[in-house]
Structure 1
Amino acid sequence: MPDTPRHRWIIAPLRADRSRLTATLDLPARLLATVDAHRRIGGPYTAASTVLTTLVPQMLQRTPELVRAHDIEVLSAAPDLRGVVPATRETLTSLSVPEERTRFYSRLRTLRIANGLVELLRDHVLSGGEPRTLVVENAEHADPTDAEWLAVLLRRVDPRVLTLVVRTSGEPASAVLGDALHAYCEATAGESTGSSAVLPSSVGERAALYVDGDATSDDPELLAAYRLIGDDERAALHDARATRLEAEGRFSPRLGAIPFHRERGADPENLAAGVLRAALNYCITMGFYDATIDFGQRGRDVVDWQVRDKYWWAFTTKITISLAALGRPDEAKALYDEARVTSVDPAIHMGAAYATAMLYTRHFDTDRQSHTLAKAWINQSIAFASLLPDPEATAMQTVFHQNGLALIEVHLKNLPEALRLVTEGLARLDRELGPDKQLLHRSVLLYNRAQVLAGLGMLDEALAEYTAVIVADPHYAEYYLDRGNILRRLGRDDEALADYETAIRMSPPFPEVHYNRADMMLAAGEIEAGLAGLGYVIELDPAFLDAYVNRAGIFAELGDHDAAARDVATGLALDPDNPHLHCVRGQLHAEKGEYAEATAAFDAALARDPALQAAWAGRAAVRFDQGDPAAAVADLTRAIEIGDDAALRYNRATAYQATDRRASAVADLRRALELAPDDPDTAALLAELSAS
């Protein structure tokens, strides 16, 4: 058989070497010119932005519906297209000014954006009817957003549709991209034969050429010239380049080249600090947390905290928010401690106290969480808020911090108190700020009240709150997902499905809503659609464990044991202690008559979750088949204690029959008929035992 087509990975020391190696490959026609992914050019999504700014104008002419379906992803990755692509799904979160931002995106948002961009690019190429090639240079210098996007492209796009040629000088720092390159690419490595570029003769001109390329060139002669010129001349080149880029008016250089050049110009403390802070604010509002950390650290390097403490705290606190979002709370805690040691500003201590509370109640690993310590810190932040001189600021900050206290009360299982705090906070905002201020935080409070009501089992009241927050913020997809979940719990499946569909339309692809939709399909008996949905969930996120668990169980029920076994193996690689997957593995072994292996798998499942009914039932079946009906009765009794069920009653009746306990068998069969009156097998066995 011919080899399966693969993407290509070109590895060589210099860009010129990589270009020569690329020219030797037999590839489809180029989709566009070589794309440079170096984050120094445009920061987050440097490569994706280049692709989009080139192709989207063509797409708007040929397939405008594709662009409309992915406008969020396009504008997130390519902000320079804001004048070309209408933003049709803005939310209170996306529209809020930095001073009113009280909600930050999940760190998984960039994966959603990446998946949406991949589908847009794939479908655009398919619409042209011919295979194409996309060459991406400097991938080892890509921002994590581009690295993630390239990894998803490599994983999801058939190279017979679009061949990716990813070029690096070595192994990329991004593990996500590195794993994808090894998994989906054929690698071609080469040695350096040097650069053949014709360069200016003077050192100054060569240095200027290096700076004008935003210092991304790997030509050793350009780099040597740059290092040879004097400090003042070098700073002047950087300032001149930054000024030219600013005059162009494009946004993307403000996230890459402009801050880089201003940091190396004549006045970094004044000129670089401002552009770094602007880039920092943009990236944190977009959920680009790695870039936020980078800009924050660079900002802290150029400002003197004793002179510009507001700048220093802005850089510091946005680093810490990003570190927490990325699952790095210890680093965040260290910076908050530094702020407490460094500053006597009450506002800084207030913010640090609130954020430290959130670390202890939400972000630390379970063994390090302390909701009591979190409450101590949040009470300190509330005390600071009460002393602010501006009454409106006092009201806003107190309500904001009491919302954090409400979360801690939820974690302490004190839901009534959490409900009181959130409800009083909403009332205070209405009373002291009026209806038109802090709209985002009001929506957060409404949403939190809905969640607390749902936790209290007050589903109708929760539904009303979710509806209210949707009225206030109609384009925020997660609200529809959560309201759909409530509607499903209320048995209003058609409305739940409609909300799931709306969430899908409102957002870049995110697996949770597709999983819930697929689960609904399976529950309704639409097996083919449900399996397709689970497959799409796994395509979006190969680490989405519940999709493997659910799909493995369905495959086992359908008799597709090989497919079930593959999902079990993949799932257990993600979570070796998952009891449901051990249970399915036991069922698969039992189907093959491998009773020892089946028993071991069921034992493993029950060791991890003693309340897993299916594992008790599965082990009971194995014990019965092995000729031990008494042991089967014991296991089935435990399963029935967990939840009464007609099938379990029937099976235990069969086991009772095998142990000559006819009265017990008859009692189980009668109960089974109460639970499932139309089951013919139960009725027949009951008649047989009654007659005897």
Structure 2
Amino acid sequence: MSTDSVRHLWITASTRAGCERLLASLDLPPLLAHVDAHRRLRGPYTAAGTLVRQLVPATRSTRPGLAEQHDVEILAVAPELRTIVPCSRETLTALAGPDERTRFYPKARTTQLAHGLTEFLFEYLSHPGVQSRTLVVANAHHADGTDAELLAILLRRADPGLLRLVVCGLEGELPGELATSLERHALRVVPDVAASPAELRPDKQSRYERAAWYVTTECTSDDPWLREAYASLPLAERAALHDARATELESRGEVSLRLGAIPFHRERGSDPRGAGVDALRDALDHCMMMGFYDTLLDLGRRSHALLDWKTQPERCWLVTTKMCTALTVLGRPDEAAALYDEACASSTLPSVHLQAAYGRAMLYTRFYDNGRLDHRQAKAWINTAIALSSLLPDRERRAFSLTFNENGLALIEMHLGDLHESLRLVTEGLRRLDEEVSPERKRLHRSVLRYNRAQLLTAIGPPEAAVQAYTEVIEIDPNHSEYYFERAAVYRRMGRLPEALADYDAATRLSPPYPEPYYNRADLAVEMGDLHAALADFGYTLELDPTFLDAYVNRASVRYELGDREGAMRDVAAGLAVDPDQPHLHCLRGLIAQEDGHLVEAREAFTTALHHDPTLVAAWSNLGVLSFGQGEVDAAIESFNGALELVDDPAVRGNRAYAYEHAGRWREAIEDYTRMLDRASPDREDPERGELFYRRGLCLLNSGDLRAALADFQECIALGGSSADEAQHELSSRGYDQLDRLRTASPTAG
């Protein structure tokens, strides 16, 4: 069967056997790997982890250093590789145990991991002698959200000539992001004839053997012959099979099995409320620590189905608080609030009400949408948490709980506008931890407090103090990318551009890729005059996030400055596809249309830009130039007025002066030229000064002020250059062959 050689493939076979039969008929590049994405096998990153476990060991000899460059993302998806892949970029967040963890990864964490894994694959395949490869992913419709996100990114970013993706997944059952990416980047292939699952059946005949085989597939087989055998067994026999399978998998010591197959089997074994809950708790803890929040919610719901608030309130709350954190990070605050309400209604444990009060405070001050934020309500809830914390009997625990909740109060005070009180609370918290908590404990939260202090000093203190505060937290947590990213902004504000650039470099090096440091480094490169470096970083920003609108705006401008008008227009079109109302893109569209002689389109573009942003100086200015060029001098003056009401730009004022001059409005032109001369460089070799004296002299001549005109022409001629020749010519054309004659004819002042 022939296939499109430049497209990824999407096979929509209804059975695994159908997919395998179709695969065998395709003319594809050599196989890189054939992986199963069914989330029941290993939970988050089932497919990615399988792929990495196959590729990484060989790189130790063939590509030394490659795995280490991607240690964070490799170990996140395949923790079993920790014995052969040392991690040199771990942050305090990654190193903190569950009891010390007070900071959790953002929602975008899995996106960063996906891009890091994508870069690993690209570098792996770019090795000399490595040919194009095929990656086959089965059961994509059963993939965990982490694998689905990775596949969607790979489909968009991977060149099929380098890495050909063949994704097997049923239409209508795929996660939305993956389905969209397949529709856009893959060729759909449908088998001509459905294949029977019997083609993949094991040589097992008895009902028990078939059921046992089904369990060894982690109950993922789509063969009804196996499923029926399993369903026909008595519950006790099925439970025994699940127990045996779980024990076998546990003996392997592979962490990722504890996120998928092991809890699945323990839930269905002989002790679901004991061993099952324990297995789910282990998976919950891991997903919480790693930021695998969608999976955590599934595990949490399954845990609650086996737990009882009346007899196991502590265990119920541990599940609930993790689910609330996940829901909050995922932008689902109402569901988190409902779980807090349920927990408080189900338990009188002080710890439940203390932590729920803090959680509700954060919803009101940070996570509800803008229309529902209520910082006063947040303060009421956080004060409840602080009051309960003050009653804790253990000194260290009380000190930490007070500090933790007062840090929440500091955030609320900041939102209420009292930054100095916020800084006081953070500083007091650091003092309390230093005095009342053992120095080896709560290292992560101490760093969080120092980071918050640096952020507050950035807002209210001298920049030198902010830099020092960021430097202190970096010394404590040197692999935290965001600290360098934020310190770079302070350096840039201080004009210390080389240090800012070094910090952006560190931010990109210490983390799996995320767009912001590349975008900011590109913007800094523009300021430093390195347009080609800016172009590369804006481009990579858009590779990471094709909806990053400001990157389109700025890359279009850089391309325009470099003379790549076609590239600029491609960026304009791509950016307007993201936001049809983006004014800067419309302005650039107008500028290019104007240069191409498409004046109607140019006027429409400038007008559209001003409709969406009446404060856009460039649109006013360019519209004025366009109007002047079409002989609409009064309209040009109005446009220049619009620009100058916003910013006193010398170039715009010069254009308005010239328009006034052409309109015969001499006094207004003279005023504009005078203001420009007042601000012009005093350097007598500056050609702009000569031009300004010449133009003002013309206006003075035409207004009848011959004495002042003489003075300006004298200045112009003394400065030399082309303007001096024009001044001399103007005098001759008016019958003043010598400046002395003009001086004699000039009326006496007064």
**Contact (CA 8 Å) 1:646, 1:673: kept in 2 or not?**
no
Map 1:644-683 onto structure 2 (within 5 A).
644-672=648-676, 677=681, 680-681=687-688, 683=690
Tell me which amino acid in the other structure corresponds to 1:170: E
Answering whether residue 39 of structure 2 is matched by residue 35 of structure 1, we say: no
Distance 1:683 1:554, change over 3 A: farther
**Contact (CA 8 Å) 2:277, 2:306: kept in 1 or not?**
yes
**Contact (CA 8 Å) 1:254, 1:279: kept in 2 or not?**
yes
**Contact (CA 8 Å) 1:7, 1:184: kept in 2 or not?**
yes
Which residue number in structure 1 is paired with residue 217 of structure 2?
213
In 2, the alpha carbon distance for the partners of 1:319 and 1:43 equals: 17
Tell me which amino acid in the other structure corresponds to 2:166: V
Answering whether residue 501 of structure 2 is matched by residue 497 of structure 1, we say: yes
**Contact (CA 8 Å) 1:396, 1:429: kept in 2 or not?**
yes
Distance 1:652 1:94, change over 3 A: same
In 2, the alpha carbon distance for the partners of 1:512 and 1:454 equals: 19
Which residue number in structure 2 is paired with residue 101 of structure 1?
101
**Residue 350 of structure 1 is aligned with which of 354, 357, 360?**
354
How far off its partner does 1:178 sit? 1.0
In 2, the alpha carbon distance for the partners of 1:309 and 1:212 equals: 35
Tell me which amino acid in the other structure corresponds to 1:192: A
Which residue number in structure 1 is paired with residue 195 of structure 2?
193
In 1, the alpha carbon distance for the partners of 2:391 and 2:268 equals: 42
Deviations 1:72-106 (A, max 9, x none): 11111110101110011111100111122111112
**Residue 233 of structure 1 is aligned with which of 228, 237, 247?**
237
Deviations 1:250-271 (A, max 9, x none): 1110011001111111111111
How far off its partner does 1:558 sit? 4.3
Distance 1:459 1:436, change over 3 A: same
How far off its partner does 1:595 sit? 5.0
Which residue number in structure 2 is paired with residue 71 of structure 1?
71
Deviations 1:100-135 (A, max 9, x none): 211111211111111111111121122143111111
Deviations 1:502-559 (A, max 9, x none): 1111111111111111111122221122111111111111122221121123334445
Answering whether residue 161 of structure 2 is matched by residue 154 of structure 1, we say: no
- Which segment is superposed worse, 562-571 or 102-111? 562-571
How far off its partner does 1:207 sit? 0.7
**Residue 401 of structure 2 is aligned with which of 361, 372, 397?**
397
User: Secondary structure at 1:436's aligned position in 2?
Assistant: coil
How far off its partner does 1:457 sit? 5.3
In 1, the alpha carbon distance for the partners of 2:581 and 2:369 equals: 18
- Which segment is superposed worse, 440-449 or 464-473? 440-449
In 2, the alpha carbon distance for the partners of 1:334 and 1:228 equals: 40
In 2, the alpha carbon distance for the partners of 1:118 and 1:648 equals: 48
**Contact (CA 8 Å) 1:72, 1:89: kept in 2 or not?**
yes
**Contact (CA 8 Å) 1:200, 1:206: kept in 2 or not?**
yes
**Contact (CA 8 Å) 1:669, 1:682: kept in 2 or not?**
no
**Contact (CA 8 Å) 1:645, 1:672: kept in 2 or not?**
no
Alignment size in residue pairs: 690
Answering whether residue 620 of structure 2 is matched by residue 616 of structure 1, we say: yes
Map 1:536-547 onto structure 2 (within 5 A).
536-547=540-551
Map 1:525-544 onto structure 2 (within 5 A).
525-544=529-548
Which residue number in structure 2 is paired with residue 460 of structure 1?
464
Answering whether residue 685 of structure 2 is matched by residue 690 of structure 1, we say: no
Deviations 1:305-354 (A, max 9, x none): 21111221111111111111112222212212222222222211121121
In 1, the alpha carbon distance for the partners of 2:655 and 2:635 equals: 13
**Contact (CA 8 Å) 1:650, 1:682: kept in 2 or not?**
no
Deviations 1:606-656 (A, max 9, x none): 444443333333333344344443443344344334333322222222232
Distance 1:606 1:377, change over 3 A: farther
Answering whether residue 584 of structure 2 is matched by residue 580 of structure 1, we say: yes
Which residue number in structure 2 is paired with residue 87 of structure 1?
87
**Contact (CA 8 Å) 1:12, 1:170: kept in 2 or not?**
no
**Contact (CA 8 Å) 1:504, 1:514: kept in 2 or not?**
yes
Which residue number in structure 1 is paired with residue 710 of structure 2?
none
In 1, the alpha carbon distance for the partners of 2:347 and 2:623 equals: 62
In 1, the alpha carbon distance for the partners of 2:233 and 2:679 equals: 88
User: Secondary structure at 1:64's aligned position in 2?
Assistant: coil
Tell me which amino acid in the other structure corresponds to 1:144: G
In 2, the alpha carbon distance for the partners of 1:121 and 1:532 equals: 21
In 2, the alpha carbon distance for the partners of 1:554 and 1:682 equals: 30
Which residue number in structure 1 is paired with residue 340 of structure 2?
336
In 2, the alpha carbon distance for the partners of 1:198 and 1:26 equals: 27
Map 1:329-478 onto structure 2 (within 5 A).
329-456=333-460, 458-478=462-482
Taking structure 1 as the reference length, what is the TM-score of the superposition? 0.95
Which residue number in structure 2 is paired with residue 175 of structure 1?
176
How far off its partner does 1:594 sit? 4.9
- Which segment is superposed worse, 80-89 or 160-169? 160-169
Distance 1:612 1:345, change over 3 A: farther
Tell me which amino acid in the other structure corresponds to 1:509: P
**Contact (CA 8 Å) 1:647, 1:672: kept in 2 or not?**
no
**Contact (CA 8 Å) 1:9, 1:165: kept in 2 or not?**
yes
**Contact (CA 8 Å) 2:677, 2:692: kept in 1 or not?**
no
In 2, the alpha carbon distance for the partners of 1:102 and 1:117 equals: 27
In 1, the alpha carbon distance for the partners of 2:533 and 2:82 equals: 37
User: Secondary structure at 2:105's aligned position in 1?
Assistant: coil
Which residue number in structure 1 is paired with residue 46 of structure 2?
46
Tell me which amino acid in the other structure corresponds to 1:41: L
**Contact (CA 8 Å) 2:673, 2:695: kept in 1 or not?**
no
How far off its partner does 1:372 sit? 2.3
Distance 1:397 1:607, change over 3 A: farther
- Which segment is superposed worse, 77-86 or 660-669? 660-669
Tell me which amino acid in the other structure corresponds to 1:688: R
- Which segment is superposed worse, 452-461 or 219-228? 452-461
Distance 1:346 1:88, change over 3 A: same
How far off its partner does 1:476 sit? 0.5
How far off its partner does 1:560 sit? 3.8
Distance 1:10 1:684, change over 3 A: same
**Contact (CA 8 Å) 1:646, 1:676: kept in 2 or not?**
no
How far off its partner does 1:417 sit? 1.8
**Residue 515 of structure 1 is aligned with which of 512, 519, 535?**
519
**Contact (CA 8 Å) 2:549, 2:575: kept in 1 or not?**
yes
**Contact (CA 8 Å) 2:409, 2:422: kept in 1 or not?**
yes
Tell me which amino acid in the other structure corresponds to 1:73: E
User: Secondary structure at 1:99's aligned position in 2?
Assistant: coil
- Which segment is superposed worse, 270-279 or 367-376? 367-376
User: Secondary structure at 1:90's aligned position in 2?
Assistant: coil
Tell me which amino acid in the other structure corresponds to 1:175: G
Distance 1:605 1:383, change over 3 A: farther
Which residue number in structure 2 is paired with residue 56 of structure 1?
56
**Contact (CA 8 Å) 2:215, 2:241: kept in 1 or not?**
yes
**Contact (CA 8 Å) 1:453, 1:462: kept in 2 or not?**
yes
Q: Which runs of 5+ in 2 are unaligned?
A: 702-750
How far off its partner does 1:370 sit? 1.9
- Which segment is superposed worse, 126-135 or 253-262? 126-135
Distance 1:418 1:640, change over 3 A: farther
How far off its partner does 1:598 sit? 4.2
In 1, the alpha carbon distance for the partners of 2:342 and 2:289 equals: 24
Map 1:260-271 onto structure 2 (within 5 A).
260-271=264-275
Answering whether residue 21 of structure 2 is matched by residue 20 of structure 1, we say: yes
Deviations 1:157-191 (A, max 9, x none): 11111111111133443111111111111111124
Map 1:308-347 onto structure 2 (within 5 A).
308-347=312-351
**Residue 484 of structure 2 is aligned with which of 474, 480, 483?**
480
**Contact (CA 8 Å) 2:575, 2:585: kept in 1 or not?**
yes
**Contact (CA 8 Å) 2:133, 2:162: kept in 1 or not?**
yes
Which structure would you say has the larger Rg?
A: 2
